[in-house]
């Protein structure tokens, strides 16, 4: 099985190319893959030039912006509008493909079924900041 990251990406109001660039750099440099001693010490970039490079799957997921504080129906008022969200998603994907060799994507705003085998105890929420 190939190692890699599934990145569920949500653009929110106020996100920009600059915040997307910062998030991408953080994602590529996170030391979350095991080294030879079993320590989380390697990043996607570290593995890119190895014999077993890790892939990056980027899937748009506006529901990450859900606000459930007001009642039983989530509000998505914090999510960027679909036009701006698509622009930021496309920008993020373009930048990722320019930096990292193995990038795949979902389809923006599609109703997709994504399967994940989570190898290990790591799931990290991150924000474009």
SS3 of 90-124: HHHHHHHHHHCCCEEECCCCCCCCCCCCCCCCCCC
16, 63, 94, 104: the active-site residue = 63
Of 21, 71, 63, 26, which Cα lies nearest the Cα of 44? 26
Q: Catalytic residue at 62?
A: yes
How many CA atoms does the CB half-sphere of 13 hold within 13 Å? 6
Which residue in 33, 62, 92, 105 is the catalytic one?
Answer: 62
Active site residue 63: yes
Using DSSP, state whether 41 is helix, strand or coil: strand
Which among 61, 76, 95, 108 is annotated as catalytic? 61
Catalytic residue numbers read 61-63
């Amino acid at each position: 099985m190939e190692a890699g990251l599934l990145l569920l990406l949500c653009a929110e109001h106020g996100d920009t190319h600059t915040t997307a660039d910062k998030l991408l750099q953080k994602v590529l440099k996170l030391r979350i893959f095991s080294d030879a001693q079993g320590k989380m010490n390697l990043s996607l970039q570290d593995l890119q030039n190895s014999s077993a490079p890790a892939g990056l799957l980027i899937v748009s997921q506006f529901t990450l912006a859900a606000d459930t504080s007001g009642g039983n129906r989530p509000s998505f008022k914090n999510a960027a509008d679909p036009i701006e969200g698509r622009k930021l998603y496309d920008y993020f994907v373009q930048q990722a493909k320019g930096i990292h060799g193995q990038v795949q994507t979902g389809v923006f705003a599609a109703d997709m079924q994504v399967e994940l085998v989570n190898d290990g105890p790591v799931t990290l929420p991150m924000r474009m900041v």
